[in-house]
Amino acid sequence: MKYFLYKASTFFATIMFISIIIFFIFQVIPGNPAQIILGIDADEQQVIQLEEKLGLNNPPMERYIDWIKGIFQGDLGDSLKYQTPVIEILQDRIPVTLSLAILSILLTVIIGIPLGILIARTDGKWYSVILSTLTQLGIAIPSFWFGFILILLFAVLLKWFPTFGYVPWSEDFVGAFKSFFLPSLAIAVTNIAVVIRYLRNTILDQSKMDYVRTARVKGLSERSIVYGHVLRNALIPVLTIMGMIIADTIGGSIIIENVFALPGLGNLLIQSITSRDFPLIQSLVMYIAILVVVINFIVDLLYRVVDPRIRLKG
Amino acid sequence: MKKNRSIPLYIGITLVVILFIMMITSLFYTPYDPNVMDPQARLSPPSLEHTFGTDNFGRDILSRVMEGSKTAFLIGTLSVTIGLFFGFLIGALAGYFGGWIDEVFMRFIDAMMAFPGILLAIVLVTVFNTGMQNTIIALGIMSIPSFARIVRSGFIQVKEFDFVKASKAKGAGSTRIIFKHILPNIMSSIFVAMTLSFSGSVLAEAGLSYLGLGVQPPDPSWGRMLKEAQPFIASSPMYLLITGGVIMLMVLGFNLLSDGIRDVRDKKA
């Protein structure tokens, strides 16, 4: 319980901290937002009216509080470009980014962990060396470029997947999976490589421990030593890099959504930057950051389930 | 086994040196003028005349890749410098003094880490506008947290060593302890972080410029070349493959260098 409370309080502190940074960064933008919205030849009276409506003359503290209230109540005002409430636009976009992130993290775990075990168990063999080299390439590859290669290979040459575009889950499950698979894999490739390398090292470290020697002396098979003893201890450090992987996944989706033309938060972010739709950008950045912090918070709580030894560090 | 370990380091050094030579060469020689268009030779595949082929305007891709290497090295070097300077300052203060200074700085760093790096860079270039200079600043800020963390943990570790304590007992000042004792001991960790952060900046610049938010024309950029190559993915994939491949080789080179330095350090320890 104490652990939960501590984590919950840092969770809120982080969100507050991030919101303050974002809010004040966006205060720096030169020019009058009302003027920007209405254009340079706008009537002075109109500009003053809009300033009033947007609350631009209120003190910064008041505007910050209004914005934060809006973030949590879902009342984010209207987008300048779309002239519709920001929240309606977001409702369609969030599921896309979330699907992409979840599928990508699943791929990372499903592919990364078995390969990490394999490399550790076959340490020194020629195919293990090749796999290790491939992980170096995986870390060095720009994910969006890998996306292009996947498109080239599986969509253009083999025609197994669509080149780009989006099918909602509710419409066609298989179609939706197909539209998410390649982009998720493109985001996952770096993380897969990181997990493989990290897991290999932790398994090899654990294998030198005394309890492994004891197990071997007891006559346990190499197989049951790895899966029954070593793996459980080796996986815990891997969980600790999960936070970094999650941030990378969400960050990666910003670029990848634009490569595959998926209508998610990242795609919207770039569109709104191009049209200088600042209220929308500010809220989008906040929501993406909240998404990262929330997923991290859930993972933090999961550690506790996986490893009851995790307590508050002094 | 001992020999095996240094092979990645040699590959890393080789890659970095080749790219560096390419960058230096581009300062006074490229096979073609990177900006001259040749409508007759649009999107031609690699040939004897154009080693890497030509782009959609008939410009020589090899020449443009060479031009782009200047941007990559410049952005990498300067953003690492910015990140190292501020990261070192924050990490050193937090690690050396500890207490509430440590707590405040580390909460700040944690909040920055919770932000995906690319998102932070995107926010900064949105507010301060795109272009070479702002891209460098944004990527520099992006790399502050990792330096701060490494320097901080280095300081905390070394601070506890007996020789540092002894020196302190003898009345040595903070500056002396930091520069004489702590710094030489964490130098290799800082080198590892510098090479990693360099490749991180190269990757991030490519991503930003691909999105149209990084380096703007006429400054050359590998990321923007990828954006230009994208519509021709089916008709002339070589343009895309070569440009992205060069980015990958540069990142790979610096990553291997980083691994190599770490291995050498660990062997010494």
DSSP state at residue A182: H
B237, A152 Cβ separation under 8 angstroms: yes
- Other CB atoms closer than 10 Å to residue A184's CB: what's the count? 25
Q: How many CB atoms lie within 10 A of CB A268?
A: 26
Q: Give pTM, 2 decimals.
A: 0.84
Average pLDDT, stretch B44-54? 76
Measured in residues, chain A has a length of: 314
Taking the C-alpha atoms of residue A8 and residue A5, their distance in angstroms, rounded to an integer, is 5
DSSP type of residue A262:
-
Q: Is B211 exposed, middle or buried (0-12, 13-18, 19+ CB in 10 A)?
A: buried
Which pLDDT does position A43 carry in this prediction?
74
Q: Say if B49 falls within a structural domain.
A: no
CB A176 within 8 A of CB A212: no
For testing contact with chain A, the best of B125, B211, B251 (most A CBs within 10 A): B211
What is the rounded CA–CA span in Å between residue B185 and residue B176?
14
Is B239 a residue whose pLDDT tops 60?
yes
Q: Would B54 be classed as within a structural domain?
A: no
Confidence at residue A159, expressed as pLDDT on a 0 to 100 scale: 80
Residue B160 lies in a domain: yes
Q: What is the rounded average pLDDT for all residues in chain A?
A: 80
- Please name which of B109, B134, B113, B110 lies closest in space to residue B123, comparing C-alpha atoms: B134
Q: What is the pLDDT of residue B14?
A: 92
The label of the residue with tokens 């580390």 reads: B106
User: Cβ of B204 under 8 Å from any chain A Cβ?
Assistant: no
Residues of chain B positioned with their CB less than 8 A from the CB of A285: 119, 122-123
Helix B132-142, helix B61-97: angle, nearest 10 = 40
B119:A293 CB<8 A: no
What is the dihedral sign for C-alpha A8, A14, A16, A22?
negative
Options 3.40.50.10190, 1.10.3720.10, 1.20.1260.10, 3.50.30.30; CATH of A93-313: 1.10.3720.10
Pair of tokens at residue B226 = 């990828």
A161 vs B90, higher pLDDT: B90
Which domain range does residue B181 map to? 11-23+61-268
Between CA B16 and CA A235 the distance in angstroms is 34
**Has residue B55 been placed in a domain?**
no
CB A56 within 8 A of CB A27: no
| Of the candidates B268, B215, A281, the residue with the CA atom closest to the CA atom of residue B226 | B215
- Tally the domains of chain B: 1
Q: Whose structure tokens read 């031009």?
A: B67
Measured between beta carbons, which residues in chain A are less than 8 angstroms from residue B211?
A: 254-255, 258, 270
Cα A55 → chain centroid: 33
pLDDT digits (tens, 9 = 90+) for B12-31: 899 999 999 988 888 888 77
Check residue B73 and give its pLDDT: 93
Instruction: Tokens 């230096």: give the residue.
Output: B24
Q: Which residue of B has its CA nearest to A289?
A: B115
Per-residue pLDDT averaged across B205-219, rounded?
87
Look over chain B and give the mean of its residue pLDDT values, rounded to a whole number: 84
Selecting from B115, B249, B251 the residue whose C-beta is nearest the C-beta of A18 gives B115
How confident is the model at residue B33, as a pLDDT?
79
Q: Is the N-terminal amide bond of B218 cis, ω within 30° of 0?
A: yes
Query: Are B252 and A152 a contacting pair at CB < 8 A?
Result: no
Residue B69's CATH number: 1.10.3720.10
Residue A80 pLDDT more than 70? no
Between CA A260 and CA A247 the distance in angstroms is 20
What is the 8-class DSSP label of residue A166? -
Cβ contact, residue pair B116, A251, below 8 Å: yes
Q: Is the pLDDT of residue A62 over 70?
A: yes
User: Could you tell me which residues are beta bridge partners of residue A78?
Assistant: A85
Q: Do B110 and A14 touch (CB under 8 A)?
A: yes
Dihedral of CA atoms B204, B207, B211, B215 in degrees, nearest 10, equals: 60
Residue type at A107? L
Whether residue A22 and residue B123 make contact (CB cut-off 8 A), yes or no, is: yes
DSSP B40: G
Q: What angle do CA A196, B147, B85 make, to 5 degrees?
A: 155
Residue B54 main-chain phi, psi, to 5 deg: -125, 160
Task: Domain ranges for chain A, please list them.
Answer: 2-73, 93-313
Q: Which residues contact A305 (CB under 8 A, 6 or more apart)?
A: none
Evaluate the CA torsion angle A66, A69, A70, A75 in order and state its sign. negative
- Looking at residue B180, its pLDDT comes to 78
B231 close contact with A: CB closer than 8 A: no
B6 assigned to some structural domain: no
> Can you tell me the distance from the alpha carbon of A217 to that of B145, in angstroms, rounded to the nearest whole number?
46
- In this prediction, residues B133-156 reach a mean pLDDT of 89
Render pLDDT for B72-120 as a digit per residue (tens, 0 to 9): 999 999 999 999 999 999 998 888 887 888 888 887 787 777 778 888 8
**Greater pLDDT, A186 or B54:** A186
Q: What is the pLDDT of residue B235?
A: 81
Most confident range (mean pLDDT) of A72-81, A128-137, B157-166, B244-253 is: B244-253
Q: Which two tokens stand for residue B117?
A: 């790096």
Q: How far is CA B80 from the centre of its chain?
A: 6
Q: Do B233 and A148 touch (CB under 8 A)?
A: yes
The per-residue b/e assignment along A38-61, b for 16 or more CB within 10 angstroms, e otherwise, is eeeeeeeeebeebbeebeeeeeee
pLDDT at B168 over 60: yes
- A249, A296, A122: which is closest to B114 by C-alpha? A296
Count CB neighbours of A286 within 10 A: 21
ipTM, 2 dp: 0.82
For residue A313, name the pLDDT band (cuts at 50, 70, 90).
very low
> Tokens 């209207």 label which residue?
A78
